[in-house]
Amino acid sequence: MTPRAVFACDPARSRGRLYAEAPSATRTAFQRDRDRIIHATAFRRLKHKTQVFVAAYDDHFRTRLTHSLEVAQIARTLARQLGLDEDLTETLALAHDLGHPAFGHAGETTLNACMAAHDGFDHNAQTIRVLTFLEQRYAAFDGLNLSWETLEGLAKHNGPVTAPPWALRLYQQEHDLELDSYPSLEAQIAAIADDIAYNTHDLDDGLRSGLFALEEALLVPIVAEAWFEASARFPTAPHSRLVPEMVRILVGRLTGDVLAATQALLNAADPRTPEAVRAAGRPLAGFSAALAGEVRALKGFLRTALYKHPQVLALTGPGQQIIADLFAHYLDDPGRMPAEWAQQAVAPPHGLARLVADFVAGMTDRFAIRRHQALTGRALLVV
């Protein structure tokens, strides 16, 4: 087992929680955070939220939940090899998409447009809002009262936040997450694990869907190399077995590159504490320069061949209309929301538009589809 690195976050030295709580007798602070996320309503809803394919339409494609689990698996592997805190890394991976609305990034784009006059909508900031306010499972406080390190990592996993969205500005007033610095290495590793997971599993799902052919994917050099390696290892295996082998090889190559490149960055920077990682002024985790270019090529292929494929847009387009219609309807008539939400509309603490956005953002694909049909009598999508 790799010993704890000097730059790893130590749960025994956590900066604590916004609301003081007695420590657990059986779990570290970060293990406790992970468990609270797993039991959260928002986490369960991820199983019916779009990753690429609308979640209501097929049981075999990734959803936001299975995506998050794959990110967590890769993140733990990386953290273990680097001597980081595995529990914090896993926690960040599991929670990173809790603020995503239905219908994937298309849904987020629509909700942001709906909120243009009300400080906008950002799924990363909404994750913080979910975890600090919207989850109401404890008698003593709103949210899950997670540790500073977990909230910091979720707020800054893509780097310093120079222009924080509204939800982050609001929380900053109570609990300074030091948004102008880089996050812990655990957060940086969770972010790169997200890249590895979605690039490889979207390739897998795209091939399974038939929206692009293997021959098209093999025009991407990194995919071709993994395919030829799989074919050489198993020359008599059918394509149905070789594609998973190819994806597995690709995950291994990306993970190995991150480990080597990150170790080189750490050797050069020589951080001796987690605070030194935050003060480094640049990321200390990532791909090598050579592989980063190959990953960009894979992303470009997936953007054209999958994310913008007419059959994908044929589902996400109506999904965007559903979100726009629901937002407009509830903003005009908040009494049509469920009772626990309609009651808040009498004096919404952060404005009626934000209340409606919170409600709509929490919907799963299928709940949004059914609500829209019940309110409008139109079936834009069928569950």
Quick: pLDDT tens for 223-259. Answer: 999 999 999 999 999 999 999 999 999 999 999 999 9
% the chain with pLDDT above 90: 96
Q: What distances in angstroms separate CA 187 from CA 9, 203, 255, one per listed residue?
A: 10, 25, 16
Domains, in order of start, for the chain: 28-172 (1.10.3210.10), 191-309 (no CATH), 312-376 (no CATH)
**Alpha helices (runs of H) in the chain, residue ranges in sequence order:** 29-38, 41-45, 64-82, 86-95, 104-114, 123-129, 148-156, 166-172, 185-209, 214-217, 221-233, 239-269, 274-278, 289-302, 310-332, 339-342, 352-361, 365-376
Per the CB < 8 A criterion, the answer to whether 66 and 94 are in contact is no
pLDDT-based confidence at 56, cuts 50/70/90? low
| Residue 165: pLDDT over 80 | yes
Q: What is the mean pLDDT of the chain?
A: 96
